[in-house]
Amino acid sequence: MEAVTEHSSSAAHFEGTTPRRRRFVWLIIILLLVGALVALLAIGLQPRTSLLLQGKEAPDFHLTAFNGQFDGQSFSLSALRGKIVVLNMWASWCVECEKEAVVLERAWQDHRARGVWFIGVDYLDTDTAGLEYLRQYGITYPNGPDIGSQIYQAYRCTGVPETFFIDRQGVVQHVQVGPIGQSQLYGLLDRLLAAD
Identity of the residue numbered 75: F
* Spans in the chain with pLDDT lower than 50: 1-2, 4-14, 46
- Return the pLDDT at 43: 52
> CATH assignment of 49-194?
3.40.30.10
- Do the strands 172-177 and 143-145 form a parallel or antiparallel pair, or are they unpaired? unpaired
Q: What digits encode the pLDDT tens for the residues 43-66?
A: 555 455 788 899 999 999 999 999
Sign of the torsion formed by the C-alpha atoms of 110, 116, 117 and 122: negative
Q: What is the largest CA-CA distance in the chain?
A: 101
- Do the strands 74-76 and 62-64 form a parallel or antiparallel pair, or are they unpaired? antiparallel
Domain spans in the chain, listed from the N-terminal domain onward = 1-46, 49-194
Q: Let me know: does 95 contact 174? Beta carbons within 8 Å.
A: no
What is the distance of C-alpha 61 from the center of its chain? 16
- Return the pLDDT at 51: 83
- Return the pLDDT at 23: 85
Provide φ and ψ at 145, rounded to 5°: -75, 145
Provide φ and ψ at 4, rounded to 5°: -65, -40
What is the distance of C-alpha 12 from the center of its chain? 58
CA distance 150 to 123: 10
- Return the pLDDT at 14: 45
pTM assigned to the model: 0.76
